[in-house]
Amino acid sequence: MSTNVESLKVSASNMEESRARLCEEFASVAGTDSAVAQCFLAENDWEMERALNSFFEADLESVFEEKDPQEERSQSPETKKRKIDPKTPKQCIDLTEDSPSSSKPSVEDDPKLSLISWNVDGLDTDNLAERARGLCSFLVLYTPDVVFLQELIPPYVQYLKKRAVSYLIVEGGEESYFTGMMLKRSRVKLLEKIIVPYPTTQMLRNLLVVQVTFKEHKLCLMTSHLESCKGHAAERMKQLRLVMQRVTDAPDDVTVLFGGDTNLRDTEVVKVGLPPHVCDVWERLGKQEHCRYTWDTKTNTNKTVPYVSRCRFDRIYLRPASKEGVPCLLPDHMALIGLEKLDCGRFTSDHWGIYCSFVAGS
C-alpha cells in the first residue's frame, strides 16, 4: 500500500511540474501572467495549442482607438467622447507616404534593396495604437522596400492597411497571431505567396514564403517566428532545418532572404549548421556590437521582468543568387531601430527592429 501511495505522490509531483512548465510557456508566448495561463490551459485540458487559440480569439479590435466614420456614428455619445473625431482629415492620411515638401531625394531609382525586420509585439495591447503609429514613422524615415513583421494580430494588420497604403501587406495567417510582410508597391512586385506549416509546432508558428521581383533581381523572401522559450530548442532547431532546406532548394538565379524573430541561440545554429553560401548578415558585416542584442531587457522596459536578458533573437540570413550572369545582392549595412521611447513612454516594441540594406554584387 505504501508503495502505491508513494507512486501516486511521484505522479502528482510530475504532473504539477509539467503543468507549471506549460503555464510558464503559455505566459511567455501570450505575454500574460501565470494565473491567466493556468485558467486558459485548465479550460482546454492542458493542451497548449487549444489554449492559445482560445486566448487569441478574444475581441482585440478595441485596442486601436481610431474607428471608421460609419462605426463612429453607431456609437453612443459617451463612447465618442473617448474616440478621435471621425471628421478629422487624419483618417485618410497615408502615414508611410513621403511628404511632398520633404528634402529627401527620391528613392525610386535607388539600386539598393532595403529591409526592416521587426517583432512588433502585437500581443501587448498597451499603447498599441501609438506603437503602431511608431512603426509607420520608421517606414517614413527609412522607406524600406521590404518589411518582415512578427507577432501581428488582426487589428494591427487592419490598421496598417488603412495607414500604410503605399505598401502591399502579405499575411502569414488570419487568426490569433502571425507573421506578415510589407512590400513597397512602387519598387517590389509580388509573384507568389506560400505558407509552409511547421508540423509539430505548439505555438501556432509557420514559414511565410513570398516570391517577388525587385528591379532586375528575382527574390525569395521568407519570414518566421520560430518556437519560443529555452525549453523548446529541439522544435526550434527542427524549424530552422526546414527553413534552410527551403533556402537551399531555391533556384540558383534567385536571391533568398530569410529573417524574423528566430529565438535562436548561437549554440543551436552551430548544431543545425548553415548550408553553403548562406550567411548570417550580422556576422558578414563584422559582428558590430551595437547591432548584437535585439532583445535587451536591460535597456528596453516594455516588459517587466525580474532578470536581465540580452539576446540576438532577431536575425537575417542571405543566400545570394549564384547562377552565372545573374545579378545578386550582398549585405551593405545594418542598424537597430526603435531605440527611442514614444510619447506614451514606451518603445514601439519589446524587440528592437533590424534595418538592413543590400547592394548589387558579383
| Degrees to nearest 5, angle at CA 162 with 157 and 220 | 55
**Structural contact between residues 335 and 286, judged by C-beta atoms closer than 8 angstroms:** no
Instruction: State the pairing for strand pair 113-119/146-152.
Output: parallel
Name the residue with cell 534552410: 244
| Chain centroid, CA 215 distance in Å | 26
Helix H or strand E encompassing 250: none
**Structural contact between residues 132 and 112, judged by C-beta atoms closer than 8 angstroms:** no
How many other β-carbons are positioned within 10 Å of the β-carbon of residue 131? 23
User: Annotated catalytic residue: which of 121, 124, 145, 261?
Assistant: 261
Phi, psi for residue 327 in degrees, rounded to 5 = -65, 145
Give the Cα separation of 206 and 253 in Å (integer): 25
How many other β-carbons are positioned within 10 Å of the β-carbon of residue 36? 15
Give the Cα separation of 328 and 141 in Å (integer): 26
Instruction: State the pairing for strand pair 353-361/328-337.
Output: antiparallel
**Structural contact between residues 206 and 224, judged by C-beta atoms closer than 8 angstroms:** yes
**Structural contact between residues 29 and 49, judged by C-beta atoms closer than 8 angstroms:** no
Give the Cα separation of 345 and 307 in Å (integer): 21
Q: What DSSP designation does 275 have?
A: P
**Structural contact between residues 170 and 155, judged by C-beta atoms closer than 8 angstroms:** no
Answer yes or no: 343 catalytic: no
**Structural contact between residues 358 and 318, judged by C-beta atoms closer than 8 angstroms:** yes
Give the Cα separation of 116 and 103 in Å (integer): 23
3-state secondary structure at position 125: coil
Q: Which residues are part of the catalytic machinery?
A: 261
